[in-house]
């Protein structure tokens, strides 16, 4: 049957003109097989296209989910950084208080520094890696360390509160506020003298502002000196007891007398430009047993 010859007659018009085509049977079989093959191929390609579309949609959904998870994790990391900075600020405040009341810092406080180092390692080494499991583990580890630091800090604060209750009079006589308003024109420590150009040691801090700016006592005490002395110009000193003395120099005038008791925040006088001065400012010193200390270590506000 496949090798039989078949004749196909095509009539051109009504007058009987025609064309005759002779074809073998295998030609029709080949055409049929080709049609079936094309149909099967189309069905296969359609199924493949449908699967690829489904996989593409699943991939897009997965990428969207991963992106959202990464965003949430990075947002959480930012919040953890803020919490860690807040904890560091509390620890710095704790250090200031301990300096004021001469309370030794416990060795357990070093754990906070370790926690801070772990936080830095976490932020620097693991944030760029978008691996969910690794990030989650590091976050849980960091939260655990942070929780430990918070518990230690709570214990420290309780210790400070108990010390405060026992030493209320001492705390009231400890310098702890800014003596005036303005900006620090010259900090405590080594510097180059504005008069000689040589290196010297600045025993206090210079707070600059306009002449007449009020100056206040930084703690309870008794005025031990008022007058003019050397390069300090018009100045006064307040003895707070326990070897702590504060000096307020380059004043325009003072409104207290020698021997007068003063309280923290009480008006002492007004800023000026007297003595060896390059402009209106207050030279403020804190001394403990005659040794000059950095006044900023005592300032809490």
Cα gap 274→33, rounded to integer Å: 113
Among residues 96, 243, 240, 67, the alpha carbon closest in space to that of 160 is found at: 96
Strand-pairing partners, residue 287, are 245, 292
Strand-pairing partners, residue 24, are 5
Enter the DSSP assignment of 211: T
CATH superfamily, with its number, for domain 183-297: Glucose Permease (Domain IIA) (2.70.70.10)
- The predicted pLDDT at position 108 comes to 43
- The predicted pLDDT at position 4 comes to 63
- The predicted pLDDT at position 102 comes to 57
Block means of pLDDT (10 residues each) for the chain, length 301 residues? 61 65 67 85 83 82 76 74 76 68 50 47 48 66 74 74 69 88 93 82 94 95 93 95 93 96 95 92 94 89 68
| pTM check: above 0.85 | no
- The predicted pLDDT at position 135 comes to 65
- The predicted pLDDT at position 182 comes to 94
The per-residue pLDDT for range 166-199, each reduced to its tens digit, is 666 777 788 989 999 999 999 999 988 877 778 8
Cα gap 113→91, rounded to integer Å: 10
- The predicted pLDDT at position 110 comes to 41
Q: Are 89 and 120 in contact (CB under 8 A)?
A: no
- The predicted pLDDT at position 127 comes to 45
- The predicted pLDDT at position 107 comes to 42
The per-residue pLDDT for range 218-253, each reduced to its tens digit, is 999 999 999 998 899 999 999 998 899 999 999 999
- The predicted pLDDT at position 129 comes to 45
Domain ranges of the chain: 5-59, 63-171, 183-297
């Amino acid at each position: 049957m496949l090798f039989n010859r078949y004749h196909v007659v095509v009539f051109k018009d009504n007058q009987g003109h025609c064309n005759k085509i002779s074809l073998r049977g295998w030609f029709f079989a080949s055409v049929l097989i080709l049609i079936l093959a094309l149909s099967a191929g189309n069905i296969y390609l359609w199924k493949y296209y449908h699967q690829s579309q489904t996989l593409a949609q699943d991939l897009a959904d997965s990428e969207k989910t991963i992106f959202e998870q990464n965003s949430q994790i990075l947002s959480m990391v930012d919040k953890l950084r803020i919490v860690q900075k807040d904890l560091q600020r509390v620890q710095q405040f704790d250090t200031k208080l301990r300096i004021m009341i001469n309370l030794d810092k416990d060795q357990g406080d070093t754990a906070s520094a370790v926690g801070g180092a772990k936080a830095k390692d976490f932020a620097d080494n693991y944030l760029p890696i978008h691996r969910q499991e690794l990030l989650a583990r590091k976050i849980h580890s960091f939260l655990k360390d942070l929780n430990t630091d918070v518990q230690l800090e709570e214990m420290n604060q309780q210790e400070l509160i108990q010390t405060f209750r026992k030493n209320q009079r001492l705390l009231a006589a400890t310098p702890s506020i800014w003596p005036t308003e303005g900006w620090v024109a010259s900090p405590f420590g080594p510097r180059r003298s504005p008069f000689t150009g040589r290196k010297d040691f600045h025993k206090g801090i210079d707070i600059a502002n306009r002449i007449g700016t009020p100056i206040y006592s930084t703690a309870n005490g008794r005025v031990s000196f008022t007058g003019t002395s050397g390069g300090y110009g018009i100045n006064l000193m307040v003895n707070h007891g326990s070897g702590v003395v504060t000096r307020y120099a380059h004043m325009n005038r003072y409104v207290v007398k020698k021997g007068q008791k003063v309280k923290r925040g009480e008006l002492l006088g007004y800023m000026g430009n007297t003595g060896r001065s390059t402009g209106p400012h207050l030279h403020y010193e804190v001394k403990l047993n005659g040794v000059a200390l950095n006044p900023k270590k005592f300032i809490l506000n």
